[in-house]
Amino acid sequence: MLEFVADIYLYEENGGAMKGDGWSGMMPQLNMDGKFVMSKILANKPLKKGEWHEVIIQLPYGDKFEYIKETIKEGYEFKLNFGGKILGIGRVKLM
């Protein structure tokens, strides 16, 4: 498993991707330059829309794919997708 700290921002208007706020344990897709990777977000508080949050992101299969390990570096920016729609954005803070 690959795990890192990131800052994420959940859009208030997300085209119906998610109705309420985010939560620890939610599993959006990480959009890495058009490649979608399963992820799990861990947080110690509710993830309110329209705010930045520091979270831990786990990529259960991230250590099995070289392109993921080569791409995920501090400062890398990504999109979060849920239900085929963009839910928010994020930036890797600490590996």
pLDDT tens figures, 48-69 = 999 999 999 999 887 778 888 8
- Looking at the domain assignment, is residue 74 inside a domain? yes
- Looking at the domain assignment, is residue 6 inside a domain? yes
Low-confidence ranges of the chain (pLDDT < 50): none
Q: Give the domain range for residue 35.
A: 2-58+67-86
- Looking at the domain assignment, is residue 91 inside a domain? no
Report the CATH number at residue 53. 2.40.30.10
CA distances to 2, 51, 61, 95 from 38, rounded to whole Å, are 11, 23, 8, 18
- pTM, whole model, 2 decimals? 0.91
